Chain A
Amino acid sequence: MVNRPVIGVVGAGVIGSQVAQTFAQAGHPVVLVDVHDEALERARRSISRDLRFHRMLAGGSTGPGAATKTQAAKTPAAKGAAPGAAAAGNAPAGNAAGGEGESRAAVLERITFTRDLAPLAEAELVVENVVEDWEVKRGVYEKLDPLCADGCLFAVNTSVIPITRVAAATGRADRVLGMHFMNPVPLKPMVEVVRGHHTSPGTLDRARELLAGIGKEAVVVADAAGFVSNRVLMLTVNEAVFTVHENVSAAEDVDRLFKGCFGHPMGPLETADLIGLDTVLLSLDGLYAEFADSKYRPCPLLRRMVDAGLLGRKSGQGFYTYPQI
């Protein structure tokens, strides 16, 4: 395999660990940084588990169409998705990764799990996935900027924080962009790429190239809180929570309607459980603050569930119960 550039991944939570895994599967050496040892340990376990089942999840053994079939169901109208999806998951992730050819150990070995930011000096791209909290993110960029190579690109993986604001916290605004990865990262063929006010065309080209190398197609959108996907999704999720809050419907029935009537593979409340209710709440709070528009007001039930520690899949309980192991 050709030598692939080092990728830095900061934040080893739900999404950061998947981003690290995906780059490692495509052959990149990856430095995965978190402030918590437990988060790093959890990331190692979940990556290892994911790699074990990757071939099955990507549909490897039933032929190259399998992975795209589920994806196609999720994006029925996406004409551009078909070629991208066919290249995704299967091509780079399939042959370079986890599945048939390579052992789990080989992929895991490519990932350095550490609390130390220093090794990021080697990285050509740093994908930042720390908690959705501007003060925390700002602190991270203030440390990264002097430490990383001049040519290093910073990709902000955020649900609603404007990329231009993040870029302003660095001295390299032209090399900062948004990469909004979708959960589960190893299987999703597309990334919403966000062009900040100062993001240069060269940065976007390089980002597209790096993403193509891990089997992902980029759709570039301009910088506005929530971009396209989260702005629309979070409103939908919030409204779904309101219907439960107001006893209009049980959670199961809300989801059944979306699946049965609209052909969505998952309903909005299952999706919320998958994303994490705390992350959903932070996103809504962020949209509310950014647009100063009351239509983003988080449903009180959502806030209460988060206060009660019912965070969805990651805590074992959200709108549904998930047996913990």
Chain B
Amino acid sequence: MTDTSQPQARESIREFLGRHLSGYDIGDDENLFETGYVNSLFLLQLVVFVEETFGLEVEDGDLRRENFCSVSALTGFVAGKQAAAGAPPQP
């Protein structure tokens, strides 16, 4: 997924991470798992955020690094899930 196709989703993911990384300014392609912030509590909050903000369900099979490792990966993951569910993209 690119910037242009999912700008709003990308923006809200950035905003969520900004709030949760104690001010750490993460680049869109920077690996979250290498920041030292990621623990299971953080991941749970991230999953709840994704589910509630984008109205989709994260299944256990989706819990893979490649889906959650960066702003870009998350944006792509959300778009993929929404497309699969046939849901209209929402912010």
A323 at the interface (CB under 8 A from B): yes
Q: Which residue of B lies closest to A50 (CB)?
A: B40
Q: Is there a chain B Cβ closer than 8 Å to A53's Cβ?
A: yes
- Contact check: which of A57, A66, A270, A323 meets B43 at CB < 8 Å? A57
**Cα A73 to Cα B35 with chains together (Å):** 10
Which chain A residues border B69 with CB–CB below 8 Å?
A: 62
Shortest beta-carbon distance, A14 to chain B, in Å?
11
Contact mask A41-83 → B, CB, 8 Å, 1/0?
A: 0000010011011111101011000100110011000000000
Give Cα distance in the complex from A54 to B69, angstroms.
14
Q: Which residue of A46, A264, A265, A325 contacts B34 across the interface (Cβ within 8 Å)?
A: A265
Whether B33 contacts A320 by the Cβ 8 Å rule is no
B39, CB-defined interface residue at 8 Å? yes
Q: Report if A323-B44 is in contact (Cβ < 8 Å); known contacts: A56-B65, A57-B38.
A: no
- As a 0/1 sequence over residues 313 to 325 of chain A, the CB contacts with chain B under 8 angstroms (1 = contact) are 1000000101101
Complex Cα distance, B62 from A61, in Å, reads 11
Q: In the complex, what residues of B have CB within 8 A of residue A61's CB? A: 64-66
A53 touches B22 (CB 8 A): no
When distances are taken between beta carbons in the complex, the residues of chain A under 8 Å from B60 are 52
Chain A interface secondary structure, helix, strand, loop or mixed?
helix
- Residues from chain A with a CB closer than 8 A to the CB of B37 are 266, 270
Task: Kindly state whether residue A252 has any CB partner on chain B within 8 Å.
Answer: yes
Identify the closest chain A residue to B62 (Cβ).
A56
Q: In the complex the two chains form, is B64's CB within 8 Å of A55's CB? A: yes
Chain A residues within an 8 Å CB radius of B20? 323
> Which of B34, B36, B43, B48 interacts with A53 by CB under 8 Å?
B43
Is B54 an interface residue when CB atoms closer than 8 A count as contact?
no
Is B22 within 8 A of A252, CB to CB? yes
Residue from A62, A69, A259, A264 whose CB has the most chain B CB atoms within 10 Å: A62
Choose among B45, B48, B68 the residue that contacts A56 (Cβ–Cβ < 8 A): B68
Instruction: Count residues of chain B with CB under 8 A from any CB of chain A.
Output: 24
The CB with the most chain B CB atoms within 10 A, among A50, A53, A54, A323, is that of A53
- CB of A223 within 8 A of chain B? no
Please give, as numbers and ranges, the residues of chain B lying within 8 Å of A151 by CB-CB distance.
Answer: none
Main secondary structure of the interface of B (DSSP, over half): helix
Contact status B40-A59, CB under 8 Å = no
The answer for the CA separation of A122 and B66 in the assembled complex, in Å, is 42
Is A184 on the interface with B (CB-CB < 8 A)?
yes
A266 to B42: give the CA distance in the assembly, Å. 15
Does B41 belong to the interface (CB within 8 Å)?
yes
Residues of the A chain whose Cβ atoms lie less than 8 Å from the Cβ of B83: none
Whole-angstrom distance from the CB of A255 to the nearest CB of chain B?
7
Quote the shortest CB–CB distance from A87 to chain B (angstroms): 20
Alpha-carbon separation in the docked complex, A320 to B40 (Å): 18
Is A57's CB under 8 angstroms from B22's CB?
no
CB distance from B84 to the nearest CB of A (A): 19
B69 — nearest CB in chain A belongs to which residue?
Answer: A62
Is B63 part of the binding interface, using a Cβ–Cβ cutoff of 8 Å? yes
Are B41 and A49 in touch, CB under 8 angstroms?
Answer: yes
A52-B60, A325-B48 provided; 4 other pairs, C-beta below 8 A? A53-B63, A56-B68, A70-B33, A70-B34
Q: Which residues of B are in contact with A by a Cβ distance under 8 Å? A: 19-20, 22-23, 33-41, 43-45, 48, 60, 63-66, 68-69
Enumerate 20 A-B pairs (CB-CB under 8 Å) in ascending A order. Answer: A46-B40, A46-B41, A49-B44, A52-B44, A53-B40, A55-B63, A56-B33, A56-B65, A57-B43, A59-B33, A61-B66, A62-B64, A62-B65, A66-B33, A70-B33, A70-B36, A270-B36, A323-B20, A323-B45, A325-B45
